[in-house]
Structure formats: structure tokens, C-alpha cells
Structure 1
Amino acid sequence: MLKVAGIVAALVVAVSLGGCVTATPVITPTGQQGFTINCSAMNDVGQCYKKAGELCGSAGYEIFDQNNKPAGFWSAANQTMVVRCKVPGEAQKATS
């Protein structure tokens, strides 16, 4: 019984530690600074969008690549995005 309790405790810790969204600086295909955002542990691509918004603020961002493979019975989720933050005013220039 003690062994089962230890396994359950380890799983709870692993799930709670694995619930974060990470952002790693990268160079985008256009040669600009961007971020690879990984929200696989959350199994919710909405968390990737939220992190991109936090990183880029009101100027917004451009998505270069996105992978939204949900978790399967035998496989983990793979939820990632590569984004570039727009410069302030860039969105307005594109629409006018």
C-alpha cells in the first residue's frame, strides 16, 4: 500500500510541475527574433496563444509554425508555436 501511495504522490508532483508553458528565443525563417512556445504539458493550445500575447503585448504577433497534436492513449501531446512579435504600428500599416 505504501508503494502505491508513493507512486500516486510522484504522479501528482509530475503533473503539477509539468503544467507550465515555456518560451525559448529563436530566429524565425525571416531572420528575425522570435519564440518557440511549448504548451504540451497543458494539452491546451490556448495557453500557447496566451503566452504569445504576454510576450508580445498589444503589438501582436505573427505565427510562423504551429503543431497541435493532441495527446493519444500511448503518446503525449505536442502543442507548440513559433511566433514573431510585431513592432508597434505594424498591424495598422498592413491594413491601410
Structure 2
Amino acid sequence: MRMGLLVAVSAVATLVGCATSKEVYLADGSKGHSISCDGAVQNFGSCLEKAGELCGTQGYVVLNQSGEAVPFSTASGGYTATSLAASGGFQAQSGAIITRSIFVKCK
């Protein structure tokens, strides 16, 4: 059981740590890449590393870069004092969804 949990956690951590890309056409008709490196585990360096993998030794030009942290807060459970006491609990979660992306064109 414990080994299975360790494998599952490792698999999720591996997936979370990967930048994703999508081929796009730019305004001038040339091909480019939209690369996302969202989440707390990654940074713009992850996006740039992916750009290097995609373009190889020819290099790339960063056309645009954006990123933001969008705060969120959710709550579940009872919304009145009576229902809170009856249910025995209240769950709240808050944090931020971090998004980062770059657009690159291979040289």
C-alpha cells in the first residue's frame, strides 16, 4: 500500500513539473509555440527550457511573456451556526492559481 502511494505521488509530481506547448501560427503566417508553465512548482525557467527543447540549436526569440497569480477562496459546509454545529465541521481553502506563458518563434 505504501509503495503504491509513493509511486502515485511521484507520477503526479512528474506531471506537474512539465511545461506544455502548442504550435501556433503568428500574425505574419510563420509558426511559433505557445508554452505554458503554470503552477507553484514551475517558473519562467521551465518555459524557457521547453523552448530550448522545441527549437534546439537554432535558438528562439521570445515574442511575449505573461504571468499572474489569481487568488481564490472556497468554502464548503454549513452556512449557518446551527448547521455548522450539526455537521461538526466547516472546510475552507484559499490560495492562488499561478499562470505563466510565453510565445516563442524559433530562429
Coarse TM-score class (shorter-chain normalised): 0.5 to 0.7
Distance 1:66 1:48 in 2: 10
Say which of 21, 36, 45 aligns to 1:23: 21
Say which of 19, 27, 30 aligns to 1:32: 30
Structure with bigger RCO (C-alpha 8 Å, 6+ apart): 2
Structure 1: 5+ residue stretches without partners: 1-8, 87-96
Q: TM-score, with normalisation over the residues of structure 1? A: 0.65
List structure 1 segments (4+ residues) > 6 angstroms apart after TM superposition.
none
Percent of aligned pairs sharing the same letter: 36
Conserved in 2, the CA contact under 8 Å of 1:28 and 1:64? no
Comparing both structures, which one devotes a greater share of its residues to strand?
2
Conserved in 1, the CA contact under 8 Å of 2:37 and 2:46? yes
Bigger drift between 64-73 and 20-29 goes to 64-73
Tell me how many residue pairs correspond in the alignment: 78
Mark the structure with the bigger radius of gyration.
2
Q: TM-score, with normalisation over the residues of structure 2? A: 0.59
1:80, distance to aligned residue in structure 2 (A): 0.3
- The equivalent residue for 1:79 is 100
Q: Tell me how large the CA RMSD over aligned residues is.
A: 2.7
- The equivalent residue for 2:88 is none
Distance 1:70 1:47 in 2: 17
1:57 aligns with 2:56: yes
Structure 2: 5+ residue stretches without partners: 1-5, 72-93
